[in-house]
Amino acid sequence: MSTPDCLFCKVSSGDIPAEKVHDDGELFAIKDINPAAPTHVLVIPHRHIETILDLGPDDEKMVGKMYTVAKNLAQEAGIADDGYRVVANCNRDGGQSVYHIHFHVLGGRRFGWPPG
Ligand code: 5GP
Ligand code: ZN
């Protein structure tokens, strides 16, 4: 299930330390090492899935749960009412740098649109 050279598989297994803010056995969440906003956490499935293009019908429930975890973390961080952003970058033009899917949950400042 895990891929040896994958950064988030190593975080999942505990081989690489991270500041974990959630873990329910299926999904975990960590603080981003290079935050782009006052709150910046990543919601990540323990299972290795390279990109959101690799998601299939069997993953629909898990993806829904990723939004619920993102919402709960936004509320816990106190950014929910003012607003926050959930982002999944895909492949080169989407700006993906870690090829193990994750949702960015960002908040604590006002974002521009469209993104750069
Ligand atoms: P992507 O560019 O794939 O959408 O997002 C990857 C995110 O992972 C980036 O925001 C980056 O700062 C974060 N990141 C990269 N390496 C590490 C790490 O070792 N620990 C943590 N907590 N975040 C990381
Ligand atoms: Zn992985």
CATH number at residue 77: 3.30.428.10
Residue 114 lies in a domain: no
Q: Is 60 helix (H, G, I), strand (E, B) or coil?
A: helix
Q: Best substitution site from 9, 28, 34, 92 to test ligand 1's pocket, by max atoms within 8 Å of Cβ?
A: 34
Residue 26 lies in a domain: yes
pLDDT level of residue 1 (50, 70, 90 thresholds): low
Give the range of the structural domain holding residue 87, as residue numbers without chain letter. Answer: 7-107
Residues 104, 105, 111, 116, Cα dihedral to 10°: 0
Residue 115 lies in a domain: no
pTM exceeding 0.85 = yes
pLDDT in tens, 17-37: 999 999 999 999 999 999 999
Residue 116 lies in a domain: no
Nearest CA to ligand 1 atom 24: 33
Look at residue 87 in the predicted model and tell me its pLDDT.
Answer: 98
* Contact (Cβ atoms closer than 8 angstroms) between residue 73 and residue 106: no
| Strand ranges inside 1-116, DSSP E | 20-23, 27-31, 39-45, 84-87, 103-107
80 lines ligand 1 (CB under 6 A): no
Q: Is 33 helix (H, G, I), strand (E, B) or coil?
A: coil
98 C-alpha to center of ligand 1: Å? 7
